[in-house]
Structure 1
């Protein structure tokens, strides 16, 4: 016996026992009422009709034990037992057999497929109507046409009425199951996309690491072999080779630090390439939100703005301005800000973001965490630059970043 079927069998057993006890209690109450109302009499306690009804109720309840397997077939069996009782022991106690049929109809509508439920409900209704007609005919107190109407009404109430709430509950269960399946499918799809993205990111990182390290490590290996042979014969050349190995090792470390810095920037909402050329768009976006920001570009007419500044340096500059404007809007909302890019120094690029002191009515939107300043300082250190931030003489706030230009590169001049 599988574990999955045990809960269903347990529920069916509980339903069968409860139905049997309730039906037998109703039979006993009916016998008590019949002592004061002879019209309810169907057979005193202990007669064949009474015992026949009690046995039928027990058999109907036992049939409900299989409701977890085929509830529709169970409904037909329970209704058929009512017809057998009406044919063998017709009496006024027959009405009590409607209780197990009610339970069977409800279980069939709750757990059965609607196509099977319709077929078995119709068959069970016919059995219940026939049983009521047979029992009433044996009684002889009701006319033929009236008895037919009562039989049809009995079948509609006993079989059809429980199907309505059961069908509604079954439909709600099916809807919840479909929603959970859709949610599970969406979750699986999301996990698959995440796994694919991680795999692609790992492949990109592997290629980047290969490009960074392969050339330098190959050269280091060759130079180390040469140095090993020249240690005794040519100490001076061996020393020069060792210094070159050190230079190449430092180059690898610098490139790896830059790669780590780029990886740390993954996850921002704007994933495009950020340079000094995109600063005006950033400032315009801040103005759209209501900020008062001025942009001051001080460039050398002999070269293009930002010439000689590495892509990582330009990204650091962009993030510094972005974070500074965010801090200004958080701690001094509504005050004017000035973004200054000084590109006149041939060796360094200097960027300053300054905001006026907050007014007396200005209230900071939030206190912040302080990680923005730390992040800007770390970005500056990553590219060999410097960063500083602090209050101004007029109680405003200023952030300053200095970014070195790449050494060993010719800075192109602006075309005439």
Structure 2
């Protein structure tokens, strides 16, 4: 059962129950209805109440016009069967006025409420005149008061509820728009970050393939006296390497920014230069390298992993200078674990006289998380116990993957 059907049925049952109670009371006090009434008046009132409730049901799409229809049925009953039972018909009018104020347009509600008020006051006047209560201006005032109470009073709470609903709907629409805008900005930030990673991936792949091509050419020269099949295979390696390099440049080069100039592939070995550059801007940055003397720092970590670590440290230092200017910062590279390289960038809270930048968008963290996911690492960032900030990244080592020293 729909809400409108439930409202109509409840209104009909309530009105008929009220009419039945009046009938029971009228047995002991016939003056309750003003005068003894025949069955026609009772049945006429019951039919009117049912018709009013049906009008509420069928008018679920035109609630304002339904109010006028319900009020018009009151006038019909007053003209055909005037009696003290007329007052019961006010209940469906009350419900109709409330529904109109709750769901109807305010301009239509005002127009139909005025028309319904005229119908209700006219019906009350007609019923009172035919019922023998000819009080002149007193009856007119009663009719106007009846219209104000039956039609005007329910509109007050209904209009308040309707206004609250409209406010909530506007807030939800605004929130949805803000969410869409935020998602669009996040998508744009991720796309830009992935484009940057594509540029850097191109440089790394070019670095590897250039080395392969160089090695193949050396092999070709060194195997001049070897069987011809080995010589041809070496030349084929060089040919295929150059072809892959050209194809990769054409494919990924579409994502490169015009005029972009890269200073070269960034690795863990270039972190000290990055920190020195940050110090030149006045930042207090310390570098703590915890390495295993048995192997070279960063051994087993791919160039892509080292590049991701470099970019994350770079972004973390930028965020520290923006949100905690003047605060000491420590970059820790823990290279002692044989399976994982861990890097931590931790900055203290800003000083009392510092003016940190406005709250960021969070896109930098999204980019760092994207980079970490690209290399299969784990990323974490958040406030510290002393109200500072810490960024953490763990990069797995690629066992068995070691480039010759001259190509790293």
Into which bin does the TM-score normalised by the smaller protein fall? 0.5 to 0.7
> Which residue of structure 1 lines up, in the alignment, with residue 153 of structure 2?
161
The answer to whether residue 330 in structure 2 is matched with residue 322 in structure 1 is yes
The answer to whether residue 44 in structure 2 is matched with residue 64 in structure 1 is no
Of the three residues 83, 92, 97, the one matched with 1:91 is 83
> Which residue of structure 2 lines up, in the alignment, with residue 113 of structure 1?
105
For 2:347 and 2:153, the matched residues in 1 are separated by 69
- TM-score w.r.t. the length of structure 1 is 0.59
Query: In structure 2, do the counterparts of structure 1 residues 313 and 116 end up closer, same or farther at CA, with 3 Å as the change threshold?
Result: closer
For 1:11 and 1:122, the matched residues in 2 are separated by 26
For the aligned residue pairs, the C-alpha RMSD in angstroms reads 4.8
For 2:310 and 2:46, the matched residues in 1 are separated by 91
Of the three residues 159, 173, 193, the one matched with 2:165 is 173
> Which residue of structure 2 lines up, in the alignment, with residue 400 of structure 1?
none
For 1:88 and 1:278, the matched residues in 2 are separated by 95
For 1:56 and 1:317, the matched residues in 2 are separated by 81
For 1:173 and 1:86, the matched residues in 2 are separated by 37
In the alignment, is the contact (CA less than 8 A) between 1:24 and 1:54 conserved in 2? yes
In the alignment, is the contact (CA less than 8 A) between 2:330 and 2:347 conserved in 1? no
Tell me the CA shift for residue 276 of structure 1: 2.1
- What is the count of residue pairs matched by the alignment? 299
Bigger mean CA offset, 217-226 vs 119-128: 217-226
For 2:310 and 2:207, the matched residues in 1 are separated by 26
For 2:35 and 2:173, the matched residues in 1 are separated by 55
SS in 2 for 1:68: coil
Larger radius of gyration: 1
> Which residue of structure 1 lines up, in the alignment, with residue 276 of structure 2?
276
SS in 1 for 2:178: helix
Query: In structure 2, do the counterparts of structure 1 residues 259 and 58 end up closer, same or farther at CA, with 3 Å as the change threshold?
Result: farther
Tell me the CA shift for residue 43 of structure 1: 6.5
Tell me the CA shift for residue 202 of structure 1: 1.5
The answer to whether residue 129 in structure 2 is matched with residue 125 in structure 1 is no
Of the three residues 123, 126, 139, the one matched with 1:134 is 126
For 1:315 and 1:12, the matched residues in 2 are separated by 62
Tell me the CA shift for residue 221 of structure 1: 4.3
> Which residue of structure 2 lines up, in the alignment, with residue 398 of structure 1?
none
For 1:47 and 1:327, the matched residues in 2 are separated by 91
User: What residue ranges of structure 2 are gaps of 5+ in the alignment?
Assistant: 246-263, 287-305, 318-328, 333-343, 350-383
For 1:204 and 1:317, the matched residues in 2 are separated by 16
Query: In structure 2, do the counterparts of structure 1 residues 183 and 315 end up closer, same or farther at CA, with 3 Å as the change threshold?
Result: closer
Deviations 1:42-73 (A, max 9, x none): 56676111110000000000111024211111
User: What residue ranges of structure 1 are gaps of 5+ in the alignment?
Assistant: 1-8, 253-257, 266-272, 287-292, 294-309, 331-363, 385-405, 409-416
In the alignment, is the contact (CA less than 8 A) between 1:43 and 1:50 conserved in 2? no
Tell me the CA shift for residue 232 of structure 1: 5.7
In the alignment, is the contact (CA less than 8 A) between 2:9 and 2:53 conserved in 1? yes
In the alignment, is the contact (CA less than 8 A) between 1:43 and 1:49 conserved in 2? no
Tell me the CA shift for residue 163 of structure 1: 0.3
